[in-house]
Structure 1
Amino acid sequence: MVRRLYGSAELQERLQVSRARVVQIVSRPDFPEPFDRLAGGAVWLVEDVEAWITEHRPHQARDANPDEC
């Protein structure tokens, strides 16, 4: 089974925010816990982040823009 992961750079791109904003977002108590912490930083499971986006940023959910998938 292949796990898809987001690091902070992928979160920046996916959420279209700055690096500083990613730090703020991942510090929120409602943001998913990292799947693991590596030497390069934390990583999150894509499905956990996408579920969070659907709940907290529905305008950015994959279903909100079918051409984005």
Structure 2
Amino acid sequence: MSRQRAYQITSRADFPAPVADLAQGKVWMTEDVEAWMKVHRRDVDDAEA
């Protein structure tokens, strides 16, 4: 996945909020992202096509 695509996905209103915003970048809980992926995986795949 490109850096641009990662930014697009993490900027979605329905994407989980990061638990921290460090100098190196934002940090998410794995469980939060995996739960989001289970619900939205098809949306993400469709947007890339």
TM-score by shorter chain over 0.5: yes
Q: CA deviation at 1:28?
A: 0.2
Give the alignment of 1:28-39 within 5 angstroms. 28-39=12-23
Q: Which residue number in structure 1 is paired with residue 7 of structure 2?
A: 23
Figure out how many residues of one structure are paired with residues of the other and give that number: 42
**Aligned AA for 2:3?**
R
Deviation beyond 3 Å, 4+ runs, structure 1: none
Q: CA deviation at 1:55?
A: 0.4
Instruction: Tell me the C-alpha RMSD between the 2 structures.
Output: 1.0
Identity between Structure 1 and Structure 2 (%): 57
Residue ranges of structure 2 left out of the alignment (5+ in a row): 43-49
Q: CA deviation at 1:36?
A: 0.4
Instruction: Please say which structure displays the higher CA radius of gyration.
Output: 1
Question: Take 2:2 and 2:23, find their aligned partners in 1: how far apart are those partners?
Answer: 21
Higher relative contact order (CA 8 A, sep 6+): 1
